Amino acid sequence: MRKNGSRLISFKQYRITDLLLFALILTIFDMIAHFAPIALKQGADYTFVLTVPIVLLIMIRWGWQSALFAVGDGLLLSALNNTGVWQSYVSYAVGNSFILLLLVAVRFIGKEKITGKWFFSVVFVISGWILQILGVTLMMWITTGGDFLGYLAANAGFGATGLISLAVGIALFLVLRRLDGMVEDQKHYLLRLDAERKEAMRRDEFGDEPIELDEESISIIKRDENDFHK
């Protein structure tokens, strides 16, 4: 297969490149969300992260590899916050993993149905956000023994993982689903592209679709047509 018209690459190389690209995007946005408020000398009460939409996007595109993003992003956020306590790493890494429960929904409901209608896509993102918030809150409560409702209010409020992240996540997911092949199982996407390419070649071969001709070919056809009517 080809990547953007370049040299031939294997499916494995395509998958690795795709995963690394989205990992880089998620890392950059996490760092922006962390350092931008510091640089602007503002509080971080109204920032957001892209954990939920990116993890769900990878879930649709590749499946279980989304676990790497959920756990990895939790560890990264803990490292950026520089808390220095193991409870934070466990809370975010394990807590983020609760979003992976949606793999069950993806398996039984189907990726096409989830992404085919905007309403199902919104429910998908909201469900992922709720699972993440509950997971992180539960792990904070287990590892620290603090106030569960207090942790829940803090995580679901206007902090980094709160309501603003939910709103941005919904908007981003709805925009991405309008791009061809973006929110689609990549095996299905590549097979669909191959089938469309073969169908286009077949139509060109049998004349079902117009074929672009050069001026010389057009003149020859017109000349033959005139000879026919004489």
Q: Dump the DSSP string for 159-170.
A: STTSHHHHHHHH
DSSP lists the bridge partners of residue 2 as 8
Q: At CA 75, angle to CA 74 and CA 78, rounded to 5?
A: 90
How high is the pLDDT of residue 81? Answer: 79
Structure tokens at 226: 């005139």
Residue 229 has pLDDT above 50, yes or no: no
Q: What is the rounded distance in angstroms from the CA atom of residue 97 to the CA atom of residue 92?
A: 8
- Mean local confidence (pLDDT), 76-83: 81
How high is the pLDDT of residue 67? Answer: 95
- Mean local confidence (pLDDT), 172-191: 92
Q: What is the rounded distance in angstroms from the CA atom of residue 113 to the CA atom of residue 116?
A: 5
- Mean local confidence (pLDDT), 10-21: 92
Poorest-pLDDT segment among 3-12, 29-38, 142-151, 215-224: 215-224
How high is the pLDDT of residue 39? Answer: 67
- Give the residue, 88 or 198, on which the prediction is more confident: 88
Average pLDDT score over the chain: 82
pTM of the model: 0.81
List the CATH code of the domain at 11-184.
1.10.1760
How high is the pLDDT of residue 119? Answer: 93
Residue 213 has pLDDT above 50, yes or no: no
How high is the pLDDT of residue 211? Answer: 46
Backbone angles phi, psi at 121, to 5 degrees: -65, -40
The answer to whether the beta carbons of residues 101 and 128 sit under 8 Å apart is: no
Domain ranges of the chain: 11-184, 191-229
Residue 143 has pLDDT above 70, yes or no: yes
